[in-house]
Amino acid sequence: MRLGISLLALGALLGDCGHRDRPFETVPATCDVGGKPGYFVPASTPPVLIGCARLGVSGKRVELSGSRARIDGRSHACVDPAYGPRGRYIPGICVRAPSRLLIRDASRPRQGVSGYAFVVWGTAPASTAGVVVRSNAGRARAAVFDASRISRQPPFAVFVAELPLPVACGDITVVATGPGASGRARLRRPACDRR
């Protein structure tokens, strides 16, 4: 019996060879894009669903909604990722320049939810066709969604990807491709995230 378990463990290890070379892929999931989320989203205007994704490491779902807000007399685009059943955890932000390629959040969702790995999401120019996220933990292909429903001037896109744990000390780099959208953004991380 002990030999059988050892061979099974060895097979699992050998079967994983090259796994780190393949990117983890977050893919779009079905949802009512343009519709209203089925849970409360803190917003000053009615939020609409931008897109939904199945994350590439945990296989869990994230729903992205958005709205517009006036903050200090200026127009902002607000993006709210919702984690867990019925949007249990929604760490949203509002930004003035959503069409810039920027990482808006890189963390492990934990408040009221479990099982997620390290989720990276951000904004990009509307013409972005693809986004790859790189770190010392590996690389991940992001799902990219058109967010023009919430901000037409200028239109923008939202991307989301998931990296495996642990994401140790080091930078996270995002590379975007697309007509007029090619670019790179980096998030410098001075501390480790070993949780």
DSSP state, residue 195 = -
pLDDT, tens digit, 9 for 90 and up, residues 28-52? 999 999 999 999 998 889 999 999 9
φ, ψ of residue 32 to 5 degrees: the values are: -85, 75
φ, ψ of residue 67 to 5 degrees: the values are: -155, 175
pLDDT reported for residue 7: 35
Q: Which of 192, 118, 163 is nearest to 24 (CA)?
A: 163
Q: Which of 122, 68, 126 is nearest to 96 (CA)?
A: 68
Inform me whether the pLDDT recorded for 11 exceeds 50.
Answer: no
**Average pLDDT of the residues of the chain:** 85
Prediction pTM value: 0.84
Inform me whether the pLDDT recorded for 65 exceeds 70.
Answer: yes
Inform me whether the pLDDT recorded for 135 exceeds 50.
Answer: yes
Residues 6+ apart with CB under 8 A from 164: 24, 57, 117, 118, 137, 138
pLDDT, tens digit, 9 for 90 and up, residues 138-152? 999 999 999 988 876
Inform me whether the pLDDT recorded for 81 exceeds 90.
Answer: yes
Neighbours of 169 (CB within 10 A): 12
Query: Residue 130: pLDDT band by 50, 70, 90 thresholds?
Result: very high
| Cβ 130 vs Cβ 144: under 8 Å | yes
| Cβ 167 vs Cβ 193: under 8 Å | yes
Percent of the chain with pLDDT over 70: 82
Amino acid at 79: V
pLDDT reported for residue 166: 82
Query: Residue 169: pLDDT band by 50, 70, 90 thresholds?
Result: low
| Cβ 1 vs Cβ 47: under 8 Å | no
